[in-house]
Every structure is written in C-alpha cells, then in structure tokens.
Amino acid sequence: MPGFTKASVRDAQVKGRRVLVRVDFNVPLKDGEDGGREVADDMRIRAALPTLELLRERGAALILMSHLGRPQGKVDPALSMAPVAKRLGELLGTEVKLASGVIEGDVDLTCGALGPGDVLLLENVRFEPGETENDPKLAENLATLADVYVNDAFGAAHRAHASTEGVAHHIPGYAGLLLEKEVTELSAVVESPTRPLVVVLGGAKVSDKVGVIDRFLEVADKILIGGAMAFSFFRAEGKPVGDSLFDDESVEAAREALTKAESSECELVLPVDLVLGREFSAETERQELDGVEVPDGWMGLDVGPRTAELYGKAVTDAGTVLWNGPMGAFELEPFAAGTRAVAEAVAAAPGTTVIGGGDSVAAIRKFGLGDRVDWLSTGGGASLELLEGKKLPGVEALIDAKETEDIDA
C-alpha cells in the first residue's frame, strides 16, 4: 500500500511454519450467565480475523499473544485469556487452545505439536514481569516459540514491550493486515487528505492531545474543539468556567495553542454555547447556556445546540474528517446530544471519515453508526502518537518491505 514501507504478512512464507502473532485482544469482560467471565465487546477480536484467517489458509500454525488489563507482571485469574480463547474459537469456527502460561511450563512442547491451521493462545503476556520492561530474555524466549513474527496489535504498537518490539529483533517480523491498514489510513489523513481537512477533537485534557493539535494546526483547515478540554481554552482566554473540569497544565497548553493558531492558516474553533449540570450525574439539574461563561456552581457537560449545528455543517462540508474525543459526557443521556450530533454528521458526511480510536469509537458505536464511517481505529494512544508524527516502536521493529526477498529466499 502507498505510504507503508514495512513488510506485509501477505509477503511472508508461512506454509508449514509456526507464526507468532501479537494481537490486541485487550477487550472488556463481563459476568456470563454460567457464572464465568465472557467477552463483552469483541470488536478488537473481529478486527484481527482477516490476518488470522489468511495465515491459516496458507498453512501456518498460529501462536497468538496479547495482554488483557494491567496485571502488573503478576498472575491474576480475573484477567485470564480464557474468555477470549472461547470467543475467538467461536468466530474462527475452530478450537483455540489456551496455553497454561506465556513461556514457562509445557508451552514450548504445546507449540511444537501444532499443525497447519491450529491456533494456540498464550496466557496474558503481561503476567510476565519482563513484558512491559521489554526484557531481552523474555523477547528471546518468545522468539523461540515460532519461525515468523507478525504484529497485528496496532493498539499496542506505541509501546516498546517484549511482545511488540523486542521479539522482532530475533525472528523476521511482518505487519498484520490490521496494523498495515491502521497506519495507512491514519497517515493518509495527515499526508494526503482531500480538502478541506476538518479535525474534531474532544476529551478531557488538552495536555494529552497537544501534539495532535500542534500537528494539525500545520496541516488541517479547521480544528473543532469540544469536550472538557474546551474549558482549558476558555480558562486560557480568561473566561469563567465555574466547576467545569480543567487543570493548570492543560490551560497552559491551550494558551500556547491559541497563540500558534493566530499565525496558522488553520481555524481553531471553540464552542459557542453549552449544556450545564450541577454535578457529573444523569440525575443532576440541567440547563442550556447561550454562551460559554459558566456561572459558579455549574459545570459544562456538553456542547450546546448551536455548537452542534456549527460543527455538523463543518463536518458536512469537509473532504476529510478526523474525529477523536467526545463532545461531552455522552455516557450520561442528558449530556449526550452534542456527541450524538457530531456522530450523525460524521456518519452522513460525503467526505472521507476516520475515527481516531478511544471514546469516539465507543460513542459512534453506541449510536449505531459505526458501519457508516470509512475507518474506525482500534488504537487510542497509538492513533494519537501516529497522528502526531511519532514513530511507533512496534512498527519500526518490523522488517522493511525491500528486505523480504532476502529473508524469504
């Protein structure tokens, strides 16, 4: 694909070989009817299916590894991959064996017994204390399990961990179909958008997205600000924000962004009206404010109808839309209208539409509009770092496309 320079899993010689695949199965779990745990949302598992099915069709034996939650390098039965193995087996239509651990015990013997098309899922890779530390020995041990490595875990590609970066220094590493598509789609937003490029940014902290704001002040035509981060901008402008969420670091970052915007050809747009609540609760007293100066005792929890209309028109007129971050507390129904309006505008937009991971994906799927967007990213932090222009360790460690002929000869 244009713009993607790493070797693709399509080019790997895998027939009769064991392939170690880093997937992102960090999915939410819930209590099942039988008293056990089960997968609550399988979006990330489904996203990996094209790569897994391709490898199985080509005669590979699959050894999958993923993290789940944050077990801090200790075994936590509540974060076992067992529910994931069950759901993956249902989706693939085959048995997915669950290893007893990551590298210890009889894992190597189990891997050695795998045949073409077989699938083994290792236990939670973060049960190993060396995973997040990118321990060289763990990476080396993981590499001994297979002949080829494939990284399809875009959501973890911004982390230099043993399973995402270290292992690729020991066996040839290829990009999975999802990873390749993620990098291609998100890079295109920055490098070759159809104009005008409109970026909708929400969420809580400006400081978390200052790199993205800086980047798009250089390349976008409009940046539309929503969510709690808007109050850091208002605070930087000297406007009262009442009890709305903000922090000093984000206010300073907003002040710098406003200064940069003055000399930029990109228009930085802030809300013009708000929906207020007394507290962060669906049951709280609510009022619409025709303006943005929040009185004491109130907090801004959503953008108002005029802002929603303004932002919706900008999205409709865009050639390319990138949306990252909700417009308000969309999980509380009285304060979901702004985010819903943006979601509907993005879904109906005639231009190219990309959702940059995180809560925006949750929002557009909540409103039943996920299938009307061109690209829904599976990465939160990884999406932001790629859009900022940062190199992702999990991508950089893979072999370059031009090297595949030598390796697979």
84-108, pLDDT tens digit by residue? 999 999 999 999 999 999 998 889 9
DSSP reduced 3-state for 58: coil
Nearest to 64 by CA among 88, 40, 91, 31: 88
Between the two ends of the chain, the Cα-to-Cα distance in Å is: 22
The pLDDT of residue 181 is: 97
Rounded to two decimals, what is the model's pTM? 0.94
The pLDDT of residue 407 is: 53
Active site residue 89: no
The pLDDT of residue 33 is: 84
Q: How far is CA 265 from the centre of its chain?
A: 29
Q: Kindly state the tokens that stand for 68.
A: 């789940």
Active site residue 358: yes
**Of 22, 44, 56, 222, catalytic:** 44
- With a cut of 70, which residues of the chain have pLDDT below it? 1-3, 404-409
Active site residue 381: yes
Backbone Cα Rg of the chain:
23
The pLDDT of residue 408 is: 52
The pLDDT of residue 2 is: 47
In order of their start, the domains of the chain are 9-180+391-402 (3.40.50.1260), 195-350 (3.40.50.1260)
| Beta-sheet pairing, 286-289 with 274-277 | antiparallel
**Of 205, 209, 215, 340, catalytic:** 205
Nearest to 376 by CA among 324, 314, 317: 324
Residue by residue, DSSP assigns 270-302 as --S-EEEESSSSTTS-EEEESSS-BPTT-EEEE
At residue 73, what is the residue type? G
Active site residue 260: no
The pLDDT of residue 105 is: 81
